[in-house]
Structure 1
Amino acid sequence: MSRIRNTIFILVFLCSFFTNYAQNITVDEGFTPEYLVNDVLINSSCANVFNVSVSGGNFTSGEKSFGYFDATGTSFPFQNGIILSTGKIVNAQGPNSSLSDDGGNMGWNGDPDLNQALGLSNTFNATVLEFDFIPLGNKISFDYIFSSEQYLSNPMSNQCNYTDGFAFLLRRSDETTYQNLAVVPGTNIPVKVNTVRGSGTICPPANEAYFDAFNDINHPTNFNGQTKILTAVSDVIPGQTYHIKLVIADEGNYRFDSAIFLGAGSFNFGIDIGDDRLIANGNPLCPSEILPVDATQLGATSYQWYKDTNSIPGATNAVYNISSPGDYLVEINYGPTCQTTGTIKIEYAEPLVINQNSFTECDADTNQDGKTVFDLNTIKNQLFTNLPSNYTVSFFNSTTSTTALPSNYTNTTAYNDIIYARIMNIQGCYSDYPLNLNVNTFDEILVDETIGLCENENLILNAGSGFSSYQWNTNPPQFTQQITVNSDGTYEVTVTNSSNCSKTKTFTIEPSSIATIENIEIEDFQENNTATIKISSLSLGDYEYSLDGINYQDSNIFRNLNAGEYVVYVQDKKGCGIVFETFYILDYPKYFTPNNDGYNDTWFIKNLDKRHLENSTITIFDRYGKLLKQITGSSDGWNGTFNGNPIPSSDYWFEIKLTNGKTVKGHFTLKR
């Protein structure tokens, strides 16, 4: 065996040296199928392989569609291995400068097993490598890369579904149904151009995590793109005979070749000693848990356990009790030259430490009913002192509930509620953690105020007594119950009660001043006498008006006033003071009784002098227009006589010519 390997090394070295050394892969078609399987793909003395066969293109020029490849010194992920192609493998050598497009019109058929595995009916140019084997362990695996000319970096839309097919078909020798191992990891989806493809073209990406790249011209192979290294894996029964068939073919026609690269030495007859116990998988070991791992294999002569590549002293039994995290490997010997391995990766769940399990919020709305919103995302970050970032925590209202609470949760029990925190992605290690949610209230009612600030005065703002702390929004902030201000604006004070709950009260300070009465506009000698109080535009306040100093109104107009003397009071609503002024309403008497009883014996207009109208002229007529009397506003009036003789009871007319230019006409009654 060693002599054959040395021969291969020399041949490969010479081939690599003379054809684009350290640039592109090279291929060799001169090795037998048995050698490709036993010495390249498997390369283990433990292998029990037989019935090896290979078939592919029967090119008249003698080239083959299968063989050995060497990528030493190139950027290709495998150093060497086996290549199976739908065309000549010599055309798989880089650079990626031509279209590999072989096998047309030569009667090169597809494969019925591949058709059945992929649900196809139109495959062509199939290359098949198959063999029987008897595994020592209970698991096989091997690594591969799928490359294709159909990975187009600038395709047309009708080319997005072009894809060649391949399958790794495995069955027990006594069975007829194959299992396809060439699938997207964790799925049953066959690996093809349109199921593993990257983004960046008009074709939709698919399972991008497993796609490597679209290739430019300077690539070690002559294919337009390829997957990353993928691993085919399957459980097997030790000692049973299995048949495996590795097949690739063109779909639809011979155009655009594809290839499978199988990594040398990657076909592993290992054993499965159990699933990895990982936090990411949700199945780590719980704190202090011990996991017995049984690697017992029929025919094994010795065992050696390793942790993190270091042998474990004394760990030479088939069963090993794992009690700490690490990467474990068991080496199983079946003799001096035959050895298999099994691996398992172990992680431990963190022993969580409670940092805080009681959380208090203040009732945040106006209805102080002991219910408010809790931010469960914030609580999650405060709950444990050592919660790993990849642990998922959800909250529930009972230990049996399966419906998680929303991140913004309003407690259902007033003032105190109990909910439960649950680690969701680590199963079996943690029980639910009860949490107390407490709600404090602020029952005192704060009423915003609007206050006037009088000119040249200071104002004391009082937030009220009985609170634990105060903070005003002044610059700098003040922390007392009362503050003194001398300018208008909005002042806010945040008060905190003994339960550490806060509310804010707003004082709106508006400039104000005592009023200045600029004028009183009077409309009199009418059925509806009115007085309108005019305030100076320089007055800043909000004013109310009164004629008795007790009852005030917002309107500055007084109506239905009788003749007489009035005092108007103007008061600033914000407390800056009151001003007053006297005014007079004039009107004529509707009748008089000149009977010398000392009451209402003469007819005259009162208060003309108070309005500076005492020089006005008043003329009195009888019903026929006869002039009876003319007097001035300063006289004692008319006593009901004409030429010294009393005139009879009747209605009489008058005309008043006021010195302000206004004329008033009317009539009155003389009664005897």
Structure 2
Amino acid sequence: MKLNIILFLFSTIFCFSQMKIEKVVKYECVSSLPLTLTIFEDPRSNPSYRTLMNDFVNEYPEYDPIYWTMANYVYPTADDAYNNANAYPRDRVARSVSFDISNPANFFLRLEENVFENQRIVIIHFQYNYSIQPSGRNNFEVIGCEIDNENNVYNLDKALFDIYSFNHYYEFSFYQSHQDAILERNPIPDFDWENYTVSNTVNSVYLKVKYLPSYSDSPCSSIFKLLLNTKEFDSYLPDKSYTFCGVPFKINGPFDLNNVYQFSNFEWYHDGVLKSNNFNVNIDAIGEWVVYFDISTGCRSFLTINVTEENGEGYIKNIRSSMSQIIIEPNNANLISGYSLDGIIWQESNVFNNSTDLIFSFYFKNNQGCVFGPFSYDVSNFFTFISPNSDGFNDKWDIRSNLKLEENDYSIQIFDRKGKILTEGKLKDILPWDGKYNNRKLASGTYWYRIFKDSVEVKIGSLVIKNH
């Protein structure tokens, strides 16, 4: 009888000394792995003893907080928690407990039943598994192409490659709204990613990034907003209007000098006929030329080039004349390769000497070898300067005008500022004038002239004499 009682008592003590451990596993997404963990007494902080108790009860609702109390101590092991020994030091000022951790982080708390007799103790084992938040680029700009006036197309596959290159750790999904990304509903089908076509009023998509299950069991995910935009590529082909005069010439396709965008797979068409698959094309006809090309953003675009018939207009800005020269002023001298009076004999210079004609006619030739002309200009002029120093330039004063013609009976007076007549007579006899009075040079200064027809004044003007 005594032996049975001893055995019963030993069995009872062994039963009550067994340690009951309940485990709570949490996953935490962080930007970098922490080295310490702090648990606060203030229930408004997280994690606090209050939030830890809530997490525990959510998984083990049988431990009603009305009947169970969590002690405000944290222990490194289950045995320590059970024996209420070696708790981590408390910071009584900050009302918190901080301790070093690794990944995963393990710590233990003590749960006591709210009874006076036969009190049960439950040890809570918390395990925090930390995972680095999936990285990405918020507000990354996806450049697409316009399809028409209402829709644009974007290559989301290309955008993923630009952001992540060859990343084998993540799985991706696209959504039209942030809420859809959170709830993982209505994903954009992956077969639409390469040519994602939407209204031109849509300016963003949302990318959700998670770890591949084969790489990590972490539930961490990130959501990034990608901006949808289109870009005009007209500026990468600055000249889109050309003229054609019968001599074929080559033009190049679009090119980015800054190497931000790359263009490839060119197709040149004229009147619907494929003319070239190269970067350049031989322009050999007037009309509309279209070049299609792939862009490194992942879409295909096109530009239109208009070629019109060349007529020579726009090359010449002005014609100037001096006493014995005609100067042709081009808008762009680099576009003209030669000038001619008859279209046969050519010169590179735009200046023609020893020309006294009132009507000047000339030809010019552009860089493609096209000849234009004749162009005729009235170069009549009343010059206002004379420098009689025998250097061959402006040594005499003359005019280019029909007034000098033999059949026109005009006369002239030239006088100084005091009104003294220096020379007078028939216009055709007096001009060109050498700037002398009684065969002597006149002083530098301003002089005046009057031209008459049958004693009626028809013109008055001034000229400057500059003697060196």
Q: TM-score, normalised by structure 1?
A: 0.27
Higher strand share: 2
Higher helix share goes to which structure?
Answer: 2
Q: TM-score, normalised by structure 2?
A: 0.37
Larger radius of gyration: 1
